[in-house]
Structure 1
Amino acid sequence: MPSIEKTCRSTSGCTITPKYHPNLTMKAVEWHGSKDIRVVDRPRPMITDPQDVILKVTSTAICGSDLHLYLNYVPGLEKGDTLGHEFMGIVEDIGSEVKNLKKGDRVVTAFDIGCDRCVYCTDHKLFSSCDSTNDSKEQEKLYGHRTSGMFGYSHITGGWDGGQAQYVRVPFADSNTLLVPDSLPDEKVLFLSDILPTGWHATEMGEVSKGQTVAIWGCGPVGMLAALSAQYKKAGRVILIDNEQYRLDYAKKHLPGIETINFSKRSTLEQLKEMVPNGPDVAIEAVGFHYSRTTAHKAQMLVGLETDPSEMLNEMIMAVRKGGIISIVGIYVGTTNGFNIGAFMEKGLRMAGGQTPCQKYWPILLPLIESGKLDPSFVLTHTMPLEKAPDMYKIFDEKKDGCVKVILKPNL
C-alpha cells in the first residue's frame, strides 16, 4: 500500500493516494508478483478530495486486461497494489462538492478516471485521455502524452487503488459514476464499467454499418460484446476468431448468426479467404499484446527487443479488404518489430485504437439495456465471493471450467 501522498501536477490538483481510516479495515485483492494474487485486510479509504465518493462495492469483475497484470506484463506495478477497474456499488460517503449523487445511490463506475474539466473531457469527450488524473512521467516518456488515470492498473496509469475490494474511493464522482435503476441487477449493468463500452467503441472506431462484414480477433468477453454491438448495428456478417473452441461455441450459442474461425485447426488467413474472398470491411483486435504466437516474437519480447508482437496486427492488415478499417481495443503498451507498414499503406487502410471513454457511451448504452435491446450479461459464467479471487484469476488465465467472465462479490 502506498505510504506517501502524491498529487497530480495538473491544475485540478486531485490527490491520488487516499486518506485511509485509522481504525476500519476491509478485504481487498492485492498484487504481489507474477501469478501472486492475495486477498488481504487493509485500511478503508476515506473522502480525500471534496469531489470524492466512497463506494461500498457490490460487484467487481476480473477483466481480460487484468491478466496482463496477473502475469506481470505491465510496467509500474508495485507489491500491495489493489487491483480491479470494473466495479459498482452503493454510495457510502460523499464529498462536499459532489452535486449529482447522494448516500445510498447505486452506481457503476468507469474504469477511466475523467475530471470533466480539461479540454479532453469537456470538448472531445475523451475521458480516457483526461489530462488531470495521471501524473506518470514514465508514460509521458513512452507516448509523448499521458492517458487518464485508471483504477487498479499500475502506476503508469496513476497508481489509483482498484475496486476489487469491499470499499473504494472514486474521485471526480460526478464525472465517473453512472446512476443505475434498481430494476436492473448488477449483472446487467456492471459491464458498463468497461467491457460493453469497449466493445461498442471498437465498432465506433471501425465505423461498422449495415450490411458490412466484421471480423473480430479474440472471442473473450470484449470480443463477444464487440460482436453484440456489431449485430445491433446490423452488420451483415460477424466472424469471431479464436483458438479456444469452447469460447467460440459459447458465442454461437448466445449470439445467433455469428460465424467462427478456430485458428488452431487452420490458419486464420486461409479460412477467412474462403469465407470472405475480398476480405472483411472491418477488422477488430480484441486480444492484446501478451498473446504472442511465434517463437521469434516471444524471444524478442523476452530479451527486450520489443514489448508487443506485431503478428496479429499484420494478420489483420493482410486479411481486411482494400480500403478497410482496423480497430484496436486490445491492450498494447510499447513498441513492436516487423510491422507490415507497406501493406498497410499500399492497401489504403485506416487504423484506429485507444482506451474507451466509457462516460461518452453511457447515454447510449444504458437505455439500450433498460429497453432489452442489449443484454451484456450473457458473457458471465462465474460468480464468486471476493475471497476466491486468487483461484478465479488462475482459472480465468488458464481458461478452465468453461470460464468466460468472472464477477466477484466483496460483501457477501
Structure 2
Amino acid sequence: MRALAWHGKHDVRVDNVDDPEILNPRDAIIKVTATAICGSDLHLYDGYIPTMQSGDILGHEFMGEVVEIGPKSTLKKGQRVVIPFTIACGSCFHCGKHQYSACDNGLPADNQDIGQELYGQPMSGLFGYSHLTGGYAGGQAEYVRVPFSDVGPLVIPDGIEDEKVLFLSDILPTGWMAAENAGIEPGDTVAVWGCGPVGLFAVQSAFLMGAERVIAIDHFPRRLELARKFGAETINFEESATYEALMAMTGGIGPDAVIDAVGLEAHGMFVDNVIDQIKASTFLGTDRIHSIRQAILACRKGGRVSMPAVYGGFVDKFPLGAFMEKGLTLKTGQTHVQHYMPALLNAILEGKIDTTFLISHTLPLEEAPKGYKMFHDNQNEVTKVVLKPGLALAAE
C-alpha cells in the first residue's frame, strides 16, 4: 500500500509499504477514506518529538471503511468509522474512569520504559506519533490496523460526508475538552491563545458552554477572522501587547479562564520566546512556552487554566509563583476522545457544531508532502489539509 512516512526533519515521503495485518483478536483493518494533517504533526515534521524512526507512518486523524476484523472485534465489514487518535483498551483502571488517554494497555510493553523514565509513568498509545507513544503506524495511508477496535471506533450513519465528522478523531474533542477543562460558567470571559484548529474549536465550544465573551489571540489574520465569525473578540499579538489588551478588555481583572492552544512551538519575537528558541537550538532546552507563561500571568486571581496544547519535555522560567499566589487551577492532558465522540457526533447531526469551515485544502494522499510544506509555511491561508487516498492527482 501507499503511506506517508517520516524520514527526518522536514522530510516526509509517500512510500510503498507492507499492508497491515490482523495481529490480535480485537483488531480491525480500516480502508482510509479521509485523513488530515494536524498541527501536532508539524511537531514531528520539525523534529521536536523524540524517538521517531525513519520509515514511521504518520497521521492520527483519520476515518474509513472496515474491510477486515479480528474474531473479537465488534465492528462489521463495510461500516464507516471514525478512529480516535488515542488507543485504549476499555477495561483498565483509567478506562473505567473514562480517562482513555491514560490507558495502561494502549502502549506495547516494549515501549513503556521510555515514558516511564521521561514522565514517571508511561503514557497511552497514539497512532502515528513516535515510539514514545507506541510506534503505531498512522492513518496517512491507504489502510490502517486499529487495535482494540471494539472500544475506539465510532460508527458513522450513512449519508454523512467524511468532512463533517473526520475531526471527531482528534481536534473537535480536543477543543471541547479544552473548554470543559476551563470550567466555563455562564457569563465568563474566556481567553484562547492560538486560533489553529484546536483553538478555533475551543472558541466554538466555549460559547456553547455559556461563555459571555471569548477573546482569541493569534497573529494570522485569516485565523482571527474565523474566530470572529463565531463571535469572538480578537487580539493580534503583532499589533497589540496581549497582557495590556486583556487587562483593558476586562477592566483590569483578567479573563475568568484561559486556554493555551499553542504549545511547544510558540511564535513571536518576545524576549522569553527568543531565549527558549536559543535553548532549543543548542539542546539546552526543549519547549518554547511563551503562551502558557502569558496565559498564567493574564488569568484573573482564582481563575482556571486549560492547556490542551502539546508540550514534550522540560521547561524553565515557568511562573510557578504567580500560579500559586493567584490561586489558579490547571487542567491538561491528551484528549479522552472515546468519551466525547458520541455526544459530539449528535451535536454535528443536530447542526449545533460545524467543522467543515476549517478545511482549506483537500489533496490526494500522494501530495501529502506538499500538504505538510503548505501547512508549515503558510498557516494564515492553510487552516486544515485533508488527504484523500482515493483522490486522483490533479492534472499538471
TM-score by length of 2: 0.95
1:211 matched residue in structure 2: 187
- Give the drift of 1:400: 5.5
1:165 matched residue in structure 2: 141
Which amino acid is the alignment partner of residue 130 of structure 2?
S
Deviations 1:340-385 (A, max 9, x none): 1111111111111100010011222111111111112211111111
Q: Does 1:114 align with 2:88?
A: yes
- Give the drift of 1:335: 0.8
1:130 matched residue in structure 2: 103
1:105 matched residue in structure 2: 79
User: In structure 2, how many angstroms separate the alpha carbons of the residues matched to 1:399 and 1:250?
Assistant: 16
User: In structure 1, how many angstroms separate the alpha carbons of the residues matched to 2:20 and 2:341?
Assistant: 27
- Give the drift of 1:270: 1.4
User: In structure 1, how many angstroms separate the alpha carbons of the residues matched to 2:92 and 2:226?
Assistant: 42
2:360 matched residue in structure 1: 381
Assess if the C-alpha contact under 8 Å between 2:128 and 2:136 holds in 1: yes
2:7 to 6, 23, 32: 32
SS in 2 for 1:108: strand
Deviations 1:49-83 (A, max 9, x none): 11000000000000000000001100010000000
Trace 1:366-405 onto structure 2 (pairs within 5 A). Answer: 366-399=345-378, 402-405=381-384
Amino-acid identity (%): 50
1:329 matched residue in structure 2: 308
SS in 2 for 1:214: strand
Assess if the C-alpha contact under 8 Å between 1:217 and 1:240 holds in 2: yes
Residues 167 and 179 (structure 1 numbering): CA distance in 2 closer, same or farther, change over 3 Å? same
1:228 matched residue in structure 2: 204
Which ranges in structure 1 are unaligned for 5 or more consecutive residues? 1-25
Trace 1:255-266 onto structure 2 (pairs within 5 A). Answer: 255=230, 257-266=231-240
Assess if the C-alpha contact under 8 Å between 1:91 and 1:105 holds in 2: yes
Give the alignment's Cα RMSD to 1 decimal: 1.1
Deviations 1:231-274 (A, max 9, x none): 11121001110011121113323x2x211100011211111111
Which amino acid is the alignment partner of residue 40 of structure 1?
D
SS in 2 for 1:44: coil
- Give the drift of 1:401: 7.1
Trace 1:33-52 onto structure 2 (pairs within 5 A). Answer: 33-52=8-27
User: In structure 1, how many angstroms separate the alpha carbons of the residues matched to 2:99 and 2:5?
Assistant: 29
- Give the drift of 1:312: 1.8
User: In structure 2, how many angstroms separate the alpha carbons of the residues matched to 1:226 and 1:401?
Assistant: 18
1:349 matched residue in structure 2: 328
Deviations 1:125-159 (A, max 9, x none): 11111101213311111111111100000000000
Structure 1 window deviating more from structure 2 (292-301 vs 41-50): it is: 292-301
Deviations 1:267-292 (A, max 9, x none): 11111111112111110010110225
TM-score by length of 1: 0.91
Assess if the C-alpha contact under 8 Å between 2:187 and 2:212 holds in 1: yes
Structure 1 window deviating more from structure 2 (242-251 vs 215-224): it is: 242-251
Assess if the C-alpha contact under 8 Å between 1:327 and 1:352 holds in 2: yes
Deviations 1:33-57 (A, max 9, x none): 1110101111110111110000000
Which amino acid is the alignment partner of residue 170 of structure 2?
D
Tell me the number of residue pairs that the alignment of Structure 1 and Structure 2 aligns: 383
- Give the drift of 1:310: 3.2
Q: Does 1:83 align with 2:20?
A: no
SS in 1 for 2:150: helix
